[in-house]
Amino acid sequence: MLNDPMLLAIALFAAVCIGLSKAGFSGISMVSVVLLADIYGAKASVGLALPLLIAADLMAYPAFIKHGSWRLVWKLLPATFVGLLLGWWLLGEIDDTVARRVIGACVLCMVAVQALRKWRPVLFDALAESRGFGCSAGVMGGFSTMLANAAGPVIQLYLLAQRVPKMELIGIGTRFFLLINIIKIPLNAKLALITEESLWENAKLLPGVFAGIVIGRWLIGRVPQAAFEWMIVIFSFIAAARLLDLWSFMHMKFFEILQIVASL
């Protein structure tokens, strides 16, 4: 449990990001993934974030119940189950160091999905309309949500491919993640990622989730979505690089190249 006021403030900010993501700014959920992994450890953060996500889903669901339906949720569900089971098996087999890199890779993959939609809309449309894309999105969504609670962008990509309007997209996403996150409870408990101690920590962070939803509901009609999403893409890329230790890797390679050049 956190006793350092600075770390607690950062964890509360991560909880605010969870609330913001459920209010319509889905990309910012990746920020909370990285911050919680840094503070609590990669594997522990997966179980710790889940009750906060469910609380946010329960708060957001009544607000968006008039938007969207369950039809696309049921369509995605079978493939998502496959991804969930794969992610659950892998999470039980790896240690915290590997989990940190896997979570970083999941976040980086979600950043790539977001960037593709912005930079290459034609390629994005071709990918989204390809045969089997719905199945792939379900499997990838289930896998990444089990391992990193970071499936938002790929599910959003699938819904955009179905030409779902903005408010309906949020409503369907709220339904999907409420159901999937509840299904994940026994899977996380089986891996001992949800404990009495983690639930006490959730109680401290819950006000941040509520604040994030309130702020998000106020911001959704006032902040340009495109500018906000670009900000999140850039921040998430830097954060994923941190989890993957890409800076150390590139630094090491740079000096290896210098040594080769010097030996010529």
Whether 113 has a pLDDT exceeding 90, the answer reads no
Q: What is the pLDDT of residue 208?
A: 93
Q: Where are the alpha helices (DSSP H) in 162-224?
A: 166-190, 196-219
What pLDDT score was predicted for residue 155?
79
**In this model, does residue 186 exceed pLDDT 90?**
yes
Q: Give 10-36 pLDDT, tens digit per residue.
A: 899 999 989 888 877 766 777 888 888
Inter-CA distances, 198 with 94, 97, 109, 201, 264, Å: 20, 20, 28, 5, 56
* Whether residue 160 has pLDDT greater than 90: no
Residue 82 pLDDT: 93
Average pLDDT rounded to a whole number, residues 75-96: 89
Q: Quote the pLDDT of residue 229.
A: 62
Residue 262 structure tokens? 């010097």
State the alpha helices, DSSP H only, in the chain: 5-22, 29-40, 42-63, 71-93, 96-119, 121-128, 133-148, 152-161, 166-190, 196-219, 225-244, 246-263
In this prediction, residue 254 has a pLDDT band, given cuts at 50, 70 and 90, of very low
pLDDT in tens, 53-71: 999 889 888 877 888 788 8
Is residue 18 within 8 Å of residue 138, measured between CB atoms?
no
For 89, counting Cβ atoms within 10 Å of its Cβ (0-12 exposed, 13-18 middle, 19+ buried), the class is: exposed
Q: Which residue, 55, 74, 69, is CA-closest to 15?
A: 55
Its pTM stands at 0.78
Number of domains in the chain: 1
For residue 182, what pLDDT is reported?
94
Neighbours of 250 (CB within 10 A): 10
Residue 252: predicted pLDDT: 46
pLDDT digits (tens, 9 = 90+) for 87-99: 999 888 888 878 7
Q: How far apart are CA 90 and CA 109, in angstroms?
A: 17
Domain, as residue range, for 87: 5-263
Q: Which residues contact 45 (CB under 8 A, 6 or more apart)?
A: 33, 36, 37, 39, 103
Query: What's the whole-number average pLDDT of the chain?
Result: 78
